[in-house]
Structure formats: structure tokens, C-alpha cells
Amino acid sequence: MENNDRDGKLTLAYALFRLLIDQRDFPGGLRGYSLYYLQRQGVFQTTVSRVYLKAENKEQGMVATGDTTKWKLHDFTLTDLQKAELDECYDDMLRFVRENGGKRKG
């Protein structure tokens, strides 16, 4: 990557992308961040998701254990601090894309 990324833009873009999608390390374990982004873009109206009744909260997120046919629906509610962190990551990524030749519709 170094040979084809002399000015570091590819590395920075990838780092910003990882920050944008890898919010599992947010303090307190943030789940539902992808639903928040999709809701922000108008894809979904809610942040309702399936939660397995037997699940463990691991580093990679919630992982079902045992019977995966038993689940309930849960509406994930994010705090203002969590939303602000997600919005900042999202806005930083869009700003980088605009400054480096990308165009955003709308």
C-alpha cells in the first residue's frame, strides 16, 4: 500500500472508514450503530433489530449462543453522546471524500 499511497490518502480513507463502521469499541459497547446510519439516510424509520435470548456480549459484538430460533425484537436507543460520536465519524468521512474528489448527491 505504501508504494501506491505516497501522500497517505488511501491510508487515511481506510482509517476513517474503519472508525465509521467499527463502533463496537465505543465505551459501554454500542450496538445498533449501523441501524442508526441507515435510519439517518432514510433507509429505515426505526432501529428495531432482533436480539437473541441467549447471547453473549463479546468484543466483536453480540453473539448468539445455543438456540438461535429464540429471539425478540428490540428498539435500540442511542444516547446523545453516542449519536454525536457516530455523526462526527460520518461527517469526517464525507468531508474527506469531498476534499479528495468525491461528490455527494443531495
Residue 49 φ then ψ, to 5°: -145, 160
H or E segment at 62? strand 61-64
Cβ atoms of 66 and 93 within 8 Å: the answer is no
pLDDT tens by residue, 75-104: 888 889 988 988 988 888 788 778 876 555
- Work out how many domains the chain is built from and give that number: 1
Closest CA to 9 of 103, 93, 81, 105: 93
pTM passes above 0.85:
no
Q: Is 67 contained in some domain? A: yes
Q: Is 13 contained in some domain? A: yes
Q: Is 41 contained in some domain? A: yes
Q: 34 is in which domain, residue-wise? A: 9-99
Question: What's the average model confidence in pLDDT over 3-17?
Answer: 72
Question: What's the average model confidence in pLDDT over 2-26?
Answer: 68
Across 20-24, 67-71, 77-81, least confident range: 20-24
